[in-house]
Amino acid sequence: MKIGMLTSGGDCQSLNASMRGVAKTLYNNLKDVEIIGFHEGYKGLMYGEYHTMEPKDFSGILTQGGTIIGTSRQPFKLMGTPDANGMDKVEAMKKTYKKLGLECLVILGGNGTHKTANLLSEQGLNVVTLPKTIDNDIWGTDITFGFQSAVDIATSAIDCIHTTAASHGRVFIVEVMGHKVGWLTLHAGVAGGADIILLPEIPYDIDKVVKAIQKRTEEGKRFSILAVAEGAISKEDAALSKKELKKKRAKTQYPSISYEVGAEIEKRTGQEVRVTIPGHTQRGGGPCPYDRVISTRFGSAAAELILNKEYGYMVGMKNGEIVKVPLGEVAGKLKMVEPDSSFIHEIKNLGISFGD
């Protein structure tokens, strides 16, 4: 049996651990299996850039971050657009798949990756996917690998800010990754003891953000910490059309939303504000133990689908149990934080402000 494997989109912790789970399960259950690793995601599948992987390639990578076969971003919206040489990308991927005589293509990636995976499945290729993203926003699974490792790093950043914020009596903003969804910011903000958490799903009122800070000052608290998602948005901006918002942001003087929020806080309170951006450190380093465990389970379950010739599914997790989710149900959907959820209600009861 010949299996193709690729990692697509932004890298994260546990990609290697997940591939290891797939490979070890296949090697353990089949006498004759060949795994082809495509270089840099869908790009390798398009241009026939790959190598045959050996069992030794999957040894010692459980704790290793990144991806041993490389990755790249290939936007789904451009899949129907020929490349610079006029090549049909989808047809090229199908051609490589058939030329190599693959039984199945194992794809590890996030939302955009799953759109393309579903497209290939609809085009007749045997596909099995695994949910990778630090954003935890893939539909059909309670958890994605990479998420908990990123939460740990973002939380550590907030933890480190506490001492300097307390020492100087300043307002600190820690900007956490997450353009469209706020799971990472929400978890890190709660775990790190942030006083204010701003998420893309809950548009904020800057007056209420300032009021929350002033309330802390009146209570004798010398500092405040905000966990702000990079996709956080004000109520005023949320009311704009996409075209209007894009035009407004093109004129902004601020490098990110955190600096805009910080400038407003300084202007209205007179307090010093500092912004810290952990950035790509949230994607880096080795996977935490939790991610190593779920990645191993995801990988093993994906291999089992292949052994049973069950294709067109993403491996996910619901209530602690592995599930298989049809790719058609996953593609094009986002799992977002629900503003009216019990989670948000419980955190608000603590006195933490979401600026709404």
Q: Just list the catalytic residues.
A: 135
d(CA 292, CA 97) in angstroms, rounded, equals: 29
Look at the chain and count its residues: 356
**Separation CA 34–CA 341 (nearest Å):** 46
Strands 313-318 and 224-229, how do they pair?
A: unpaired
Alpha carbons 115 and 8: distance in angstroms, whole number: 12
CA 304 from chain centre, in angstroms, equals: 25
Measured distance CA(46)–CA(42) in Å, rounded: 6
Give the bridge partners for 173, in sequence order.
Answer: 226, 275
End-to-end CA distance of the chain: 55
What token pair was written down for 238? 């949320």
Answer whether 227's CB lies under 8 Å from 197's CB.
Answer: yes
Helix ranges, 192-240 (H):
206-218, 235-238
Residue 90 three-state SS: helix
Reference 282, options 124, 149, 97; nearest CA is: 149
Q: Residue 108 belongs to what H/E stretch?
A: strand 104-109
DSSP line for 152-203: HHHHHHHHHHHHHHHHHT-EEEEEES-SS--HHHHHHHHHTT-SEEEBTTB-
CA angle, corner 45, sides to 40 and 51, nearest 5?
70
Give ∠ CA 95-110-73 in degrees, rounded to 5: 60
